[in-house]
Amino acid sequence: MGNDDFDLKNAISGVLVVDKPVGLTSHDVVQVVRKGTNIKRAGHTGTLDPRASGVLVILLGPAVRLSEYVSASDKRYQAVLRLGASTDTYDAEGHITRSVPIDHISEAQFETAMQGFIGEIEQVPPPYSAVKVKGRKAYEMARDGEEVDLAPRRIKVYHLELLEWAPPEAVIDVYCSSGTYVRSLAHDLGEKMGVGAPLVGLRRTKSGRFTLRDAVPLRKLREAFEEGTWYQYLIPAAEALSDWPAVELNLEQMDLIRHGHRIPAEPSDSVMARGINEQGELVALMEYIPDTGEWQPKKVFFA
């Protein structure tokens, strides 16, 4: 799609799905996008560690207001675990705290142990994480040698599958709720088998509705910034929440919504919906009020 036939006014609100390479922080990628697009208002929806690669969803322009909803969506990962050791960071970066033989662990035993982590479970974040304890980040306290006492949180693991068994390494597919630490999952699985299992590789394959198929490798995006053709990768903001139902609004309804007024709704099983105009562009995020059978605008988007 060339620049000529692209409405620039709409171009500055949308989504870029980047395939983040290993070695960069998520913030580094946002900086590359800000510089390349000349749009200061940009943010990612769910941090990927520097050592991890894969799907990083970046919201641009007014679309950043979708962040809290997009960030809360489910994630999918391909994770590589190495059995037979434990580290203080739960990954390959940390100090090894113990090493044990794993000759007695079979593929079947690993599969059985893994099944115990499917469903709604309690998970303690890793001590080396950005979770805050009394206003300080856990990893800062851990680095200073302080005891880090993190509260467990409830997460959901929808699906776990062993993709490859090549001891000491195992590759697993993890489909989970937002807020899940795959490092903690690896650590807990290793502890359950009594041999330890730090995370040595991580690739996010899906974030919300976006998969690696939607993602542009960062080097390709950098080239597109230089050539001025990056708009071809911009996804309309309305698609970021395309698993939500869409309600097409007429001009009268759009006027009511714009001023914060409710509009009548058909009975709905959905708590939230996207209000869109005739062109399919995002106008508002709306909440269903069952008592009155109406849509209440929560966030309104207007050029």
- Annotated catalytic sites, by residue? 49
Structure tokens belonging to residue 274:
């996207």
Within 10 angstroms of residue 161's Cβ, the number of other Cβ atoms is 12
Consecutive H or E run containing 27: helix 26-37
Structure tokens belonging to residue 203:
């690739």
Cα 269 to Cα 293: distance, rounded to the nearest angstrom: 11
Cα–Cα distances (Å) from 107 to 11, 82, 135, 159, 184, in that order, read 50, 13, 43, 18, 21
**What are the beta bridge partners of residue 18?**
56, 216
**Is there a cis peptide before residue 101, judged by omega within 30 degrees of 0?**
no
Cα 111 to Cα 83: distance, rounded to the nearest angstrom: 13
